């Protein structure tokens, strides 16, 4: 029933924001950001179950933790950037939101290339040819 709590909170917050926006647009933006942060924190706190399941999967199936770490880093960065980008879009700053999205793509590419570089060097060290 967590989804009902999230939706109920969001509907109430949107209603309040719409009323406030008519008189004070900057305060409405602050309410939007605060609402978004509260929702994001609630969602993150509920993700603990997912992390526990992934840890169990890796330990039971002999999957190295570095693979899981790579996936979680990229997913975490993507969620965070999506959150920041949407706040920029909500405030009318689409150009900044677009630059944040570009930074995410660059950052994820750097993470993957660094991982690939380490894996490639390790394979050469052990005599594995590509």
* The pLDDT of residue 5 is above 60: yes
Check residue 45 and give its pLDDT.
82
Q: State percent of the chain over pLDDT 90.
A: 25
Between 64 and 19, the more confident residue is: 19
Chain mean pLDDT for the chain: 84
The whole-number average pLDDT for the span 51-80 is: 80
Reading the block at residue 124, the tokens are 């050469």
Q: Quote the pLDDT of residue 20.
A: 94
Please report which confidence band the pLDDT of residue 127 belongs to, taking 50, 70 and 90 as the band edges: low
- Helical H segments across the chain, by residue range: 2-21, 25-46, 48-60, 65-90, 94-125
pTM above 0.85, yes or no: no
Q: Return the pLDDT at 125.
A: 66
Who contacts 100 (Cβ-Cβ below 8 Å, separation ≥6)? 81, 84, 85, 88
Asked if the model's pLDDT at residue 123 lies above 80, the reply is: no
For residue 79, give the nearest of 121, 40, 22, 49 by alpha carbon.
40
Convert the pLDDT of each residue in 87-103 to its tens digit.
888 888 899 989 999 99
- At residue 99, the pLDDT reads 92
């Amino acid at each position: 029933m967590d989804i009902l709590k999230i939706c109920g909170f969001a509907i109430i917050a949107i209603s309040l924001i719409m009323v406030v926006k008519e008189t004070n647009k900057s305060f409405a933006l602050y309410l939007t950001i605060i609402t978004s942060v509260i929702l994001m924190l609630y969602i993150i706190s509920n993700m603990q179950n997912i992390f526990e399941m992934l840890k169990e999967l890796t330990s039971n199936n002999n999957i190295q933790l570095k693979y899981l770490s790579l996936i979680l880093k990229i997913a975490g960065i993507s969620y965070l950037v999506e959150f920041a980008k949407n706040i920029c879009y909500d405030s009318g700053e689409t150009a900044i939101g677009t630059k944040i999205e570009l930074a995410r793509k660059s950052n994820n590419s750097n993470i993957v290339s660094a991982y690939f570089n380490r894996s490639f060097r390790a394979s050469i060290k052990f005599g594995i040819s590509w």
